[in-house]
Amino acid sequence: MNIKLRNTLGEIISAAIAIIWIYSKLNAAANMSIASITQVLVQGIGISILVSILFAIVISILSSIITGSYEKNVEDERDSMIELYAMRLSGVIFGISIVIILALLGWFNLHINFGIIAITLSVFLASISSNFLKIYFYK
């Protein structure tokens, strides 16, 4: 498997693990304080980063052991274009979700706790969707 595909899959898996962990900790978000909710969200972001780093290291080591050689990460113009497309998609999804969340907060009286959670989860979902776009272009 290509090193770019492995890293992208690692990012998707780490974001999914963070979302599942955040969901399990925020089962009573309506009764929690904003400070405790933000602590859980920051811990979830940290978990996502750590899992992504560990996954990349472990998969790189296992790939080197199995194949017997070190695979270099070679980038060209195509990779830069794919990254730009993915960043554009991520920005569009996050921008649309921010507008929707702000409309829900302003006009439909969404509780601020759920607004903070929705903003954080929209970051994860935008990241996951941009990574799926990368996989689509790399295949």
Residue matched to tokens 């999804």:
93
d(CA 30, CA 47): 23
Residue-wise pLDDT for 11-47, tens only, equals: 999 999 999 999 988 877 778 888 888 999 999 999 9
d(CA 124, CA 136): 18
pLDDT band for 1, please (50, 70, 90 cuts).
Answer: low
User: pTM for this structure?
Assistant: 0.84
Residue-wise pLDDT for 97-127, tens only, equals: 999 999 999 999 888 888 999 999 999 999 9
Contact yes or no for 15/48 (Cβ under 8 A): yes
Q: How far from 114 is each of 37, 52, 83, 136, CA to CA, in Å?
A: 9, 26, 31, 32
Output the average pLDDT for the chain: 89
